[in-house]
């Protein structure tokens, strides 16, 4: 099976569980209009095709650019150049992130256009770029990740006091959405490139992890900072009830939005093409074959991004919101809770990057933390986050910060006893769990449920699910890190005792 076939397999495994669940709900609790159901199926197939092509393009184009860029930055031997380069790279790659574009569309819609799509994308991308620059500085100065995280999250929670409640959800959702299909591998490659070149070799593997986690924090800081200037601003919109026009044919909802997404995808990918060509002209001097390979990869990113966005917008997300509306209308809170719980579990188990993460943890712990244990902790944690999101919709007055504040306090307390490498892996894993299915279907599902329940507010309760999904891996993997530390300590004591007995 070729590279594209492998990507199709990965993405199909990610999209199929949600598709099967919706099909089951269609024939049981939430029958959908037939035209809308088939548009959902077409949307799912389109997402699979688009995301597979996009991810292949990431491997061929975006990731090599990050690796080359990291080496160029470090070899300059100028800290200001590394900082500026990190800011620039972080900004550009965040602008191209599909999950962020979907979230920005949703925020723009539900705020009545007051917070525009490109305004959100640019604000978030500035924050991502700034924290990536700080993260690269941290790697070069060999400052422990936990200290940078403590300062960053202290700033976040101070800012959160002064912004409208809706911005809490926008900011923390942006943190999960911005570390998605293109941003996460790009950032990991950039960190690895810098860490590898600096002093020839790093002291250990810890410097290669944590940059994606800092990028997520940058998105939060940027959106909260924007929220400070929105305290006296009235923001509000309403969800459009999904409807199917009798005159519309099966493909009309897809065809009419293609020109828009071709234009927007080009604006997202073009800066990466420009920066690569500038790097090639002034620094890299790669062979023609290597240049062509990267450019082909970026072309795949462009085509895949268009197909993905068309599939999401043309038929996939509106079904997510309608399923949420219909389930909430039944008045069965338990059914809604367990549907959210199940969606969370299905999402994380189906994410293509989760098996890679579980292997990584097993390898780093020399088998002391097996893959199955990682999967149990992750899936359980994210399932709980899906259920908690539905509780926010069902229980009046249960605000997002009631869950995030104690959650992140637990995260920071755990980091005191967690081995450094687990801290980096845990914060990077937030982007792994909050993948394309969370940013599309599950977000729309939560918004639909919030629309239907009278006591819920679509801005306050319809957003925030990405934030909770992104938070749970931080707790789960750091807990595993502490378990690993305890097991290692016990094994060392046993070895020492045996050695003394033999003496």
> Tens of pLDDT along 314-323?
888 889 999 9
CB within 8 A of 36, min separation 6: which ones? 242, 244, 315, 318, 319, 322
> What domain range includes position 379?
18-229+255-495
- Which residue carries 């290597």 as its tokens? 290
For 275, the 3-state DSSP assignment is: helix
Which pLDDT score, from 0 to 100, does residue 250 have? Answer: 85
In a domain, 340, yes or no: yes
What mean pLDDT do residues 430-441 have? 78
Q: Which residue has the higher pLDDT, 76 or 43?
A: 43
As to burial, measured by CB atoms within 10 angstroms (0-12 exposed, 13-18 middle, 19+ buried), residue 356 is exposed
In a domain, 151, yes or no: yes
Does 239 fall in a domain?
Answer: no
Asked, for residue 97, whether it belongs to a domain, the answer is yes
At residue 388, the pLDDT reads 93
Mean pLDDT of the region 488-500: 72
Q: Tell me, what's the pLDDT at 315?
A: 84
As a whole number, mean pLDDT of residues 83-99 equals: 91
Q: Mean pLDDT check: name the lowest of 39-43, 161-165, 237-241.
A: 237-241
Confidence of residue 202 (pLDDT cuts 50, 70, 90): very low
Report DSSP state, residue 316. Answer: I
Contact predicate 146/417, CB 8 Å = no
Assess contact for 333 and 394: CB atoms under 8 A: yes
Average of per-residue pLDDT values in the chain: 86
- Residue 234 domain-assigned? no
Q: Is there a domain that residue 327 lies in?
A: yes
Check residue 149 and give its pLDDT: 93
Q: Among candidates 402, 395, 385, 387, which has minimal Cα distance to 456?
A: 395
The mean pLDDT of 421-430, rounded to a whole number, is 84
Alpha-carbon span 50 to 333, nearest angstrom: 35
Place 49 in a pLDDT band, splitting at 50, 70 and 90.
very high
Question: In the prediction, which pLDDT does 142 show?
Answer: 85
State the total domains in the chain: 1
Tell me how far apart the alpha carbons of residues 427 and 212 are, in angstroms, rounded to a whole number: 7
CA distance 83 to 94: 17
Quick check: helix, strand or coil at residue 17?
helix
pLDDT at 195: 72
pLDDT of residue 418: 92
> Mean per-residue pLDDT for 305-320?
90
Per-residue pLDDT at 459: 85
Least confident residue range of 165-174, 363-372, 389-398, 448-457: 363-372
Structure tokens that stand for 199 in this block? 């002093």
Mean pLDDT for the stretch of residues 298-307 = 94
Q: Given a cut of 50, is residue 343 above it in pLDDT? A: yes
> In the predicted model, what is the mean pLDDT of residues 234-251?
59
pLDDT confidence tier of residue 246, bands split at 50, 70 and 90: very low
Residue 370: C-alpha distances to residues 300, 355, 357, 418 (Å): 36, 12, 11, 17
- The reply to whether 272 falls in a domain is yes
Q: What is the pLDDT of residue 244?
A: 47
Residue burial 216-227, b: 16+ Cβ < 10 Å; e: rest? bbbbbbbbbbbb
CB atoms closer than 10 angstroms to residue 55:
26
Specify the pLDDT at position 292: 96
Q: Which residue bears the tokens 């043309």? A: 314
Q: Is the residue at 222 inside a domain? A: yes
Distances (CA, A) of 334 to 342, 384, 400: 12, 14, 20
Q: Which residues contact 478 (CB under 8 A, 6 or more apart)?
A: 411, 414, 415, 418, 422, 423, 426
pLDDT for the residue 501: 62
Predicted confidence at residue 122, as pLDDT, reads: 96
């Amino acid at each position: 099976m070729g590279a594209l076939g492998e990507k199709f397999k990965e993405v199909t495994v990610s999209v199929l569980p949600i598709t099967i669940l919706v099909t089951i709900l269609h024939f049981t609790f939430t029958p959908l209009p037939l035209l809308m159901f088939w548009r959902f199926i077409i949307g799912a197939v389109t997402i699979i095709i688009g995301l597979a092509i996009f991810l292949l393009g990431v491997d061929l184009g975006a990731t090599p650019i990050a690796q080359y860029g990291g080496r160029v930055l470090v070899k300059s031997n100028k800290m200001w150049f590394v900082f500026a380069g990190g800011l620039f790279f972080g900004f550009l790659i965040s602008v191209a992130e599909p999950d962020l574009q979907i979230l920005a569309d949703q925020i723009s819609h539900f705020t009545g256009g007051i917070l525009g799509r490109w305004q959100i994308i640019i604000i978030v991308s500035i924050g991502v770029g700034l924290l990536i620059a700080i993260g690269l500085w941290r790697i070069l100065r060999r400052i422990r990740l936990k200290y940078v995280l403590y300062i960053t999250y202290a700033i976040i929670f101070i800012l959160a006091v002064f912004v409208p409640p809706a911005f809490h959800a926008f900011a923390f959702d942006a943190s999960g959405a911005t570390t998605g299909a293109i941003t996460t591998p790009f950032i990991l490659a950039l960190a690895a490139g810098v860490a590898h070149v600096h002093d020839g070799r790093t002291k250990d593997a810890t410097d290669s992890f944590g940059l994606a986690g800092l990028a997520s924090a940058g998105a939060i800081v940027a959106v909260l900072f924007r929220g400070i200037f929105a305290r006296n601003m009235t923001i509000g919109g309403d969800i459009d009830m999904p409807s199917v026009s009798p005159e519309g044919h099966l493909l009309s909802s897809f065809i009419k939005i293609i020109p828009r997404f071709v234009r927007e995808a080009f604006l997202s990918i073009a800066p990466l093409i420009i920066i690569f060509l500038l790097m090639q002209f002034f620094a890299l001097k790669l062979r023609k074959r290597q240049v062509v390979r990267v450019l082909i990869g970026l072309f795949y990113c462009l085509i895949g991004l268009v197909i993905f966005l068309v599939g999401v917008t043309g038929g996939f997300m509106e079904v997510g919101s309608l399923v949420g509306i219909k389930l909430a209308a039944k008045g069965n809170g338990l059914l809604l809770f367990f549907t959210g719980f199940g969606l969370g579990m299905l999402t994380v188990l189906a994410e293509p990057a989760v098996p890679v993460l579980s292997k990584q943890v097993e390898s780093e712990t020399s088998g002391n933390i097996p893959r199955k244990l990682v999967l149990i902790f992750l899936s359980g944690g994210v399932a709980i986050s899906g259920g908690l999101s539905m509780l926010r919709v069902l229980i009046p007055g249960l605000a997002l910060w009631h869950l995030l504040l104690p959650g992140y306090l637990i995260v920071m307390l755990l980091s005191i006893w967690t081995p450094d490498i687990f801290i980096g892996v845990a914060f990077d894993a937030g982007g792994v769990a909050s993948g394309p299915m969370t940013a599309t279907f599950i977000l729309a599902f939560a918004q639909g449920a919030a629309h239907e329940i009278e006591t819920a507010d679509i801005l306050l309760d319809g957003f925030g699910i990405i934030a909770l999904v992104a938070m749970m891996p931080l707790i789960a993997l750091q807990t595993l890190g502490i378990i690993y530390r305890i097991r290692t300590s016990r094994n060392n004591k046993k070895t020492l005792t045996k050695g003394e007995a033999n003496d």
